[in-house]
Amino acid sequence: DQQVKQNSPSLSVQEGRISILNCDYTNSMFDYFLWYKKYPAEGPTFLISISSIKDKNEDGRFTVFLNKSAKHLSLHIVPSQPGDSAVYFCAASADGAGSYQLTFGKGTKLSVIP
């Protein structure tokens, strides 16, 4: 049973446009959500996070939106750049920011076309 789902395995976006990556979860106990970015043959790097007490968190070109009632979160990248091309993993935990129990989605491969 997959508790964190990223239903789009891939996404292609033109440079300069908005990229929207989606993530759904089933466990209502999740209270902290993270996005990681991963280049081939490298470890994932932390991108942005959001606590369940918020519905939006912004960091530069990256914004994460959380809709708790729908158990849905999304990552917006505006404007998209070719260097954003990577696999993006959504992760969730039920124990806050310091939790060691991160559940990851399968990832979405973003391709930003110049």
Q: Which spans of this chain sit near another protein (rule: CB under 8 A)?
A: 6, 34, 36, 41-46, 49, 89, 91, 96-98, 100-107
Provide, rounded to whole angstroms, the least separation between the CB of residue 61 and another protein: 19
* Residue in 90, 114, 98 with CA at minimum distance from that of residue 9: 90
Q: Between 15 and 109, whose beta carbon lies closer to another protein?
A: 109
Q: Between 79 and 103, whose beta carbon lies closer to another protein?
A: 103
Q: Between 4 and 77, whose beta carbon lies closer to another protein?
A: 4
Provide, rounded to whole angstroms, the least separation between the CB of residue 114 and another protein: 27
Q: How many CB atoms lie within 10 A of CB 64?
A: 24
Q: How many CB atoms lie within 10 A of CB 70?
A: 9
Strand pairing report for 32-38 and 86-93? antiparallel
